[in-house]
Amino acid sequence: MRTSAGKTLVLGLGNILMGDEGVGVHVLREVEKRALPEGVECLDGGTGGLVLLEPLQNAGRIVMIDAAADGNAVGTVTRIRPRFSKDYPPTITSHDFGIKDLLDAFYILGGDCDVVLYAIAIDPHQPISLDLSPAVAKAADETVERIVAELETFARTGTFEPVDEACGAR
């Protein structure tokens, strides 16, 4: 599928003060350290909010990373293309404005570009920590590799081809 023109926005979401809940930001920080193709912009969305609508609206393609309490084994990475309410995995609620709400607002306001969400399953009942658990840290490393590869493929081909939707338990 060909995507709309413009930059690719990589958006990491989560609260890094809450351990695994901050995995999206941890992944983003590692992606930023890589040599990325032209036209890729990385943004630490933290706990988000409506302030993130403008960067979403200015992107031609969006790759989001967030923690999910989706019932999968801790460390399971799921890559989805959410468009409707039923498409969103349950996420953790420490965000000011949840990812589902953010993307719903984006689409309601006319947003029409490829959106990919990497949802990493976590245990929602974990102690407060600045560190990721071993299973989520491993999943984060693998997610970084998948995102970088996806960005490079898109830069080379100009097309977005879905790949393995479920990365499996980590």
Host domain of residue 33: 8-168
pLDDT at 76 over 50: yes
Q: State the distance between the two ends of the chain, measured CA to CA, in whole angstroms.
A: 29
Show the tokens assigned to 139: 């999943």
Report how far residue 5's alpha carbon sits from residue 47's, in angstroms, rounded to the nearest whole number: 27
Query: pLDDT tens for residues 79-132?
Result: 988 776 667 676 655 444 667 777 777 777 777 788 899 999 999 888 889 999
Give the chain's domain count.
1
pTM of the predicted model, to two decimals?
0.84
Q: Give the CATH number of the domain where residue 25 resides.
A: 3.40.50.1450
- Percent of the chain with pLDDT strictly greater than 70: 82
**Domain-located, residue 161:** yes
Query: pLDDT tens for residues 18-40?
Result: 999 999 999 999 999 999 999 99
Q: What is the DSSP letter of 124?
A: S
**Domain-located, residue 61:** yes
pLDDT at 3 over 50: no
CA distances from 82 to 30, 106, 116, 134 (A): 24, 12, 7, 28
**Domain-located, residue 83:** yes
Report how far residue 80's alpha carbon sits from residue 39's, in angstroms, rounded to the nearest whole number: 22
**Domain-located, residue 2:** no
Give 3-state DSSP helix, strand, coil % of the chain, rounded to 5: 35, 25, 40
**Domain-located, residue 155:** yes
**Domain-located, residue 3:** no
Kindly give the residue spans of alpha helices, DSSP state H, lying in 111-166. Answer: 134-157
pLDDT value for 67: 92
**Domain-located, residue 1:** no
